[in-house]
Structure 1
Amino acid sequence: MTVDTTVRNLTTIDSSSSEINEKQNMSTTLTSGDSSLTLNFLSKAGYWFFSSVTYRQAGNEVILLPESEVFAPLGFAYRCGQNVTFSNRINQTLVATFQDLKVQPYFMDTSNVTLIYGDSINCVGFFSVPIWSGLFVVFILLAITFYGIMMMMDIRTMDRFDDPKGKTITINAGE
């Protein structure tokens, strides 16, 4: 959590509580000392969205919005190894950054007492840097192979000294 230029790490949580209302909105409040973070989630059309973070301290309340969309299908978790940042759009004095975030607000109904994360949707996207690098190398090798095959198909036999009216050479293979 960054307020102006002061960085405050909320690594210890004193208490937490969750609440779901009839409109499929869910909020989870994390309290540490005199400040609290409320994580607000929204469920719509088979997906859940991490809509905002509400920061409260000493009677002041600031709503922080995500800089990039955080969402996943219901029953799936959202996982991001990069920093996920929520900021105040009016003035950038307050920023909440989650490092190595894994979140799933709506768990599937299970008979287990403990809740288990579903499959994760990653924030990187389908084409990551290693995938692009692998595809680039494969395309280069395919181009080299294609060029080599085209050059081999272009090889001409030397028939300049053959006499078309003369006797042809025959080789019998039956000995």
Structure 2
Amino acid sequence: MTKKFYTVSARYWSTLDSVEIVQDGEKSAKFNASVITAPAEYSFHCQLVGTDDLYPAKLIPNDDEAEKWDVLISSFQIQGFNIENNQFSYASDCTSFFTPGIWMGLVTSIILLWILTYGIHMIMQLTTNSRFDDPKGPALSVPQTE
């Protein structure tokens, strides 16, 4: 893991550069994991980490042996710096804030808000009659061309 200061965010970030998996003390596969980053004072957490494109945090094979491997790590959490009392600190999660369900709710809400605004606008355009029928006098004649 490396720790680097970024002036844009004005904080240190930790990056997991690579992961090496050793099987039975003989075969080893090395993966690039540079997408696994978090602020240095936080830990990094991801529900699924692996070699498939479907996982939010992807392990990229770095050698010929790693190309043959299919890796899946569930409930992955790591912290390399600022560890206190042998416990993870607050986790920076790999999932984005705007999930497809949130986007669907936002778009639906905007459409319904537009329909409501249009309806209120149309109701505000309604006008009342300028003349009313007097029950004691002659019938009121309203021309259809107005």
TM-score, normalised to structure 2's length?
Answer: 0.66
2:120 paired residue among 149, 155, 165: 149
Superposition map of 1:133-172 within 5 A? 133-159=104-130
5+ long unaligned stretches in structure 2:
6-11, 52-58, 134-146
2:31 paired residue among 57, 60, 64: 64
In structure 1, the residue matched to 2:4 is 44
Per-residue deviation, residues 119-142 of structure 1 (Å, max 9, x unmatched) = 111111121223223312321221
Q: Percent identical across equivalent pairs? A: 26
Give 1:48 shift: 0.6
1:88 aligns with 2:61: yes
Letter in 1 for 2:29: V
Q: Which runs of 4+ in 1 moved over 3 A?
A: 56-62
Name the structure with the higher strand share.
1
Name the structure with the higher helix share.
2
Instruction: Indicate if the aligned counterparts of 2:50 and 2:70 stay in contact, CA closer than 8 A.
Output: no
1:107 aligns with 2:79: no
1:55 aligns with 2:21: yes
Give 1:90 shift: 5.2
Give 1:56 shift: 3.4
Cα root mean square deviation, aligned: 2.5
Tell me the matched-pair count. 117
1:120 aligns with 2:83: no
